[in-house]
Amino acid sequence: MELYLDSVDFKEIEAAFKWGILSGLTTTPTFMHRHGITDIDGAIVKLSGMVPELQVEALGETVEEIVKEAHRLLTLPLKSKPVFKIPISNHGVQACRMLANEGHKVNIHLVYSLNQAYMAMIAGASYICPLAGRLHDQGQDAFALYGQVVDVIKKYGFKSKVMVSSVRHPEHVRQGMLVGAHVCTAPWSVIKILNENALTALGTSQFLEHTKLMTIHVKDIIRPHKSSVKVTETITDAMLVMTESGLGAVSVVDKDDNLKGIFTDGDLRRHLKEGGKNTLQNKMSDLTYKAAVTINADALLYDVVNLFKKHQVDSILVTENNKPIGFVDIQDLVKMGLIG
């Protein structure tokens, strides 16, 4: 079943056809009216250069008017030959036969019965277009009709294609396939969600998570901010570094960048509680430190996640050649969907 877009919104048309899977575009005067289009001919010319096949209305109250309008459209500087959409009627099927005899494609639409579809078939319509949503609004089984039209085409060897239109939701697309419809034209809002499924989303999320765990190294996600202070610096200096980096810890190093310990925002609060604001001027060399939880820069995220779970800390120090080079913060892994 071929898939068409049903729209006249140029931005969504451009976005939709970038997917490379759509066979054509259907439009209606109603769409153009809703979008405030006043230059209908200009819009048709523009659309003819944007899509593989364009289906446009050829309207009139008589056979002659319908055919004349189709011929007029052909005088426009179109990039490709359009399919003429004509509502089913006695005049419509006559105009369809005349245009088909001239070698043009016609879509007979606004079809609501098998008899109407049959008239379109023998008139040489390339497309026959019952309206699913509108039939359902009337309490009718739209897809029973689609199936009947498909069966008659097969039984008698007609060349018409059945087009599902007035699509309201993905279920209309699915039912169209099941009854053997040849084409479905749907709004962008429906096409965009045809791939959506909660189980697919869950499985994809798990695959991405596991791929990250087994392929991304710790050094690839550490923050590019200063994350250490010298032992000669003060608690105030450590507080400023933590504030600027957005981390809850800094590494404390000697003049050769050898690790002496880790100073955390918890340590800061504890010193303020015990010594007041005067403690902010204390040197980092005056403090004692617990053993730091560290990980090598070349380790995988799988390893650092396990460390977070094991030690229940907020930050883990990253080292390279036994020198501290930064931190991995637990919030970074939460944002990546690896923890929490």
Least confident of 67-81, 160-174, 262-276: 262-276
How confident is the model at residue 236, as a pLDDT?
A: 95
Residues 10-21: what's their mean pLDDT? 96
Nearest to 96 by CA among 74, 75, 122: 122
How confident is the model at residue 170, as a pLDDT?
A: 96
11, 85, 226, 323: the catalytic one is: 85
The model's pLDDT over 176-190, given as tens digits with 9 standing for 90+, comes to 999 999 999 999 999
Tell how strand 83-87 and strand 54-57 pair up.
parallel
Alpha-carbon gap, residue 128 to 131, rounded angstroms: 10
Residues 194-205: what's their mean pLDDT? 88
Least confident of 68-82, 176-190, 192-206: 192-206
- Whether residue 323 has pLDDT greater than 80: yes
Alpha-carbon gap, residue 176 to 33, rounded angstroms: 28
The model's pLDDT over 224-243, given as tens digits with 9 standing for 90+, comes to 778 899 999 999 999 999 99
The model's pLDDT over 17-56, given as tens digits with 9 standing for 90+, comes to 999 999 999 998 888 888 888 899 999 999 999 999 999 9
How confident is the model at residue 226, as a pLDDT?
A: 86
**C-beta separation of 113 from 145 below 8 A:** yes
Burial of 199 (0-12, 13-18, 19+ CB in 10 A): exposed
To the nearest whole percent, how much of the chain has pLDDT over 70? Answer: 100
The model's pLDDT over 242-301, given as tens digits with 9 standing for 90+, comes to 999 888 899 999 999 899 999 999 999 999 999 898 899 999 999 998 888 999 999 999
Extract long-range pairs of 176-181: CB within 8 Å, 24+ residues apart.
176/1, 176/132, 176/143, 176/146, 177/1, 178/143, 179/143, 179/146, 179/147, 179/150, 180/147, 180/150, 181/1, 181/146, 181/150
Residues 219-226: what's their mean pLDDT? 85
Give residue 89's identity as a one-letter amino acid code.
S
Tell me which range, 52-61, 131-140, 312-321, is most confidently predicted by mean pLDDT.
52-61
Alpha-carbon gap, residue 131 to 143, rounded angstroms: 10
How confident is the model at residue 146, as a pLDDT?
A: 96
Residues 6+ apart with CB under 8 A from 292: 251, 259, 261, 262, 317
**C-beta separation of 292 from 317 below 8 A:** yes
The residues pairing with 5 across neighbouring beta strands, listed in sequence order, are 25, 186
What CA–CA distances, in Å, run from 93 to 111, 113, 116? 12, 15, 9
Residues 56-62: what's their mean pLDDT? 96
- Whether residue 166 has pLDDT greater than 90: yes
Residues 292-314: what's their mean pLDDT? 92
Residues 86-106: what's their mean pLDDT? 98
How confident is the model at residue 52, as a pLDDT?
A: 96
Alpha-carbon gap, residue 78 to 47, rounded angstroms: 9
Give the model's confidence band at 218: pLDDT under 50 very low, under 70 low, under 90 confident, else very high. very high
Active site residue 79: no
How confident is the model at residue 31, as a pLDDT?
A: 81
Helices (H), the chain: 10-17, 29-34, 40-48, 63-74, 90-101, 114-122, 132-137, 142-156, 170-178, 188-191, 198-215, 235-245, 265-275, 301-311, 330-335
Confirm whether pTM is higher than 0.75. Answer: no
- Whether residue 340 has pLDDT greater than 80: no
- Whether residue 193 has pLDDT greater than 90: yes
Residues 6+ apart with CB under 8 A from 289: 252, 260, 261, 262, 263
* Sheet architecture: strand order including 315-320: 294-296, 315-320, 323-329
Q: What three-state secondary structure class fits 268? A: helix
